[in-house]
Chains A and B, each alone.
Chain A
Amino acid sequence: MNNKKVFILSGLLPALALILAFTYYPFLKGIIMAFQDYKLFDLRNVHFVGLDNFKAAFKDPKFFTALKNSGYWVFCSLILQFVFGLALALLLRKPFRGRGIFQGFAFYSWALSGFLIGMIWKWMFNSQIGVINDLLLRLHIIDERIGFLSNPKWAMMSVIIANVWYGIAFFAIMLLAALQSVPADLYEAADMDGATGIRKLWNVTLPYILPTIIATTLLRAIWIFNDPSLIYGLTNGGPAGSTHILSSLMLDKIIYAGDYGAASAIGVIMIALLLLYTIFFLTVTKAEKVGDF
């Protein structure tokens, strides 16, 4: 019994100590900015303003556009990344000739840094000098150039395409690893019952990798929600603010206004939303599958 306690403690201690010291401690020191008038231009005049920053955020119509966009952005990106990622993982599960090389090319997008992906896609999406318009014109798929990033009708979709392109690899890698660990005897049993491919997928494979599915989709949703780099790199929130999500709006407050107070307040609101989402998600998916909280 005592032995068990020692084992639990020594197993958790390194991880917990590091996180408390280097994630939570600086975060708690920084978070007071949300309740302060904290502007880069006037650092000698930082003072508490109560909930003013939050009131200002809720009064800004841009906040609600960004909130709506965030939902759309996370939902579309996540679903598409997951579906394609799972399909890819299933197709790659059994070895075939050239699988190694195929994987190298299929997954390299994950190995590029965020700012680079933004720059590459911005260049490719450009309607005058971009290669996508050029290809579509040459193949006679379109007659007129499309303003992928400048037309409000297209902009959000274009950014989501870039994000899906980037993120499929994550799901494919993680789900592939999970699929590899499905014991063969489970399939043998299913075969004996005469199950078809889709039945096997539904009754054997998916339930077995469900913990991985829940953990990856939950985490990925949080990351997509929090990461402004693609939106920032591709559209800068434009045209006319139509592609801002909450995290890019937060970045905007820092870059243009140097207003850390306003940005932190949006950050706190985002954390609250994510907590709600997590609780909801874990309830719906029956948390004990991922782990009993």
Chain B
Amino acid sequence: MKQRLGTGFKVLFLGIYLIVMVFPLYWIVITSLKPQKDIFTFPLRYWPKQFTMDNYVNIFKISKFHIYIGNSLIVSIAAAFIVIIISVLSAYVLARYKFRGHGQVMLAFFLTQMLPGFISLAPLYLMMSHMDLLNTRYSLVLMYTVGLIPFSTIMLRGFFQRIPGSLEEAAMIDGCSRWSALLRVIIPVMLPGIASTFIFAFVQNWNELFLAVMFIDDESMKTLPVAMNSFILKFDVDWGAMSAGAVLSIIPTIFIFAIAQRFIVEGLTQGAEKG
């Protein structure tokens, strides 16, 4: 009886939550399939009178959406990978060792999250200019990496702390060096944490607008958020293009999420085996 009540509550909660989450998505999708003239009609239409793919055709015709999607993928994935590599190292050290300055290092990571970005923007722009990185994708990969290292380190450190130190000690007794113990024994157990940190890093990069606007000039290197932002006009918003762009921008993230999800689930089963 209690069991059934629990299941009922679970279904109810998840159902309501799903409706609340999905409705805005439904509204965007429907809008993207309406002809321009029908987007702002009153009374509102919950099902289009007429379906059209015009908005999707248009965003590829008037702006080079395939190029922007490609750029966003390159920049977001590259930065997310580098972030994971760098942060796994720093997180591991911070989780396993006590040393002088440990607290200060942690504080240095935390503090970065509090700094308002606009203050650094002009000096950063000059730095990019001096390093000759303006108008290259390197500038974005670099800055996205830098921006996500603190968060990823803090998160991954939390995951490391939960893994008993006996695990890699055993491996080291078996003759592994510290590095290979990390690589072969710890990281596989860490996969859920790494996967979710990766998703997080990817999504942040995928959506970043301000640095991308500042650092990139050429059409051929623009990213998706910049292209979407340009559908806001002086006295209007092109909702047809905006909604079509939004739908397209969600698809790759859901895809990446599905891939990363596998690692999370796999980590679970592995944890069970160990148990």
A contacting B, Cβ–Cβ less than 8 Å: yes
Main secondary structure of the interface of B (DSSP, over half): helix
CB <8 Å contact, B42 and A15: no
Q: Mark A108-128, 1 if CB is under 8 A from B, else 0.
A: 111111111001110110000
Contacts of B155 in A (CB 8 A): 174, 212, 215-216
Are the CB atoms of B93 and A271 closer together than 8 Å? no
| In the complex, chain A residues whose CB is within 8 Å of the CB of B203 | 110-111
Q: Are B196 and A174 in contact (CB under 8 A)?
A: yes
A173 and B196 CA atoms in complex are apart in Å by: 7
Q: Quick one: CB contact mask for B69-82 with A, threshold 8 Å, 1 for yes?
A: 00000000000000
Contact of A109 with B21 in the complex, beta carbons under 8 Å? yes
A51 CB–B CB distance under 8 Å: no
Q: Is the CB of B209 within 8 A of A115?
A: yes
Which residues does chain B contribute within 8 Å of A275, judged by CB atoms? 111, 114
| A274 in contact with B114 (CB, 8 Å) | yes
A284 within 8 A of B: no
* Contact across chains for B162 and A208 when beta carbons are under 8 A apart: yes
Contact of B199 among A19, A173, A180 (CB under 8 A): A173
Interface SS, A side: helix
On chain A, the residues within 8 Å of B200 by CB distance are 170, 173-174
| A-side interface residues, number (CB < 8 Å) | 92
Interface pick from A62-70, A73-81, A140-148, A285-293: A285-293
Chain B residues with Cβ below 8 Å from A111 are: 203, 206-207, 249-250, 253-254, 257
| Binding stretch for chain B, among A53-61, A96-104, A149-157, A237-245 | A96-104
Inter-subunit contact B21/A106 (CB<8 Å): yes
Interface of chain B residues 220 through 275 with chain A (CB within 8 A): 225, 228-229, 232, 237, 239, 242, 246, 249-250, 253-254, 257-258, 261, 264-265, 267-268, 271-272, 274-275
Number of A-B residue pairs at CB separation under 8 A: 251
Tell me whether A19 and B271 are in contact (CB under 8 A).
no
B27 at the interface (CB under 8 A from A): yes
Q: Is the CB of B25 within 8 A of A176?
A: no
Check: A278 CB closer than 8 A to any chain B CB: yes
- The answer to whether A113 touches B145, judged by C-beta atoms less than 8 angstroms apart, is no
A22 near B: Cβ within 8 Å? Answer: yes
Q: Does B92 contact A (CB under 8 A)?
A: yes
Flag if B246 contacts A116 (CB, 8 Å).
yes
Q: Which residue of B lies closest to A23 (CB)?
A: B112
Closest to B118 in A: A254
Contacts of A14 in B (CB 8 A): 86, 89-90
A183 contacts partner chain B, Cβ-Cβ < 8 Å: yes
Complex CA distance for A120 and B249, rounded to whole angstroms? 15
Cα–Cα, bound, A113→B226 (Å)? 11
Pair A180/B271 contact, Cβ less than 8 Å: yes
New A-B contacts (6) at CB < 8 Å, excluding given A181-B268, A216-B155, A292-B98: A12-B94, A23-B147, A111-B203, A119-B242, A120-B24, A180-B268
Residue ranges of A at the interface with B (Cβ–Cβ < 8 Å)? 3-4, 7-8, 10-12, 14-16, 18-19, 22-27, 29-31, 33, 84, 87-88, 91, 95, 100, 102-116, 119-121, 123-124, 129, 131, 134, 165, 170, 173-174, 176-178, 180-185, 188, 197, 208, 211-212, 215-216, 218-219, 222-223, 226, 247, 250-251, 254, 263-264, 267, 270-271, 274-275, 278, 290-293
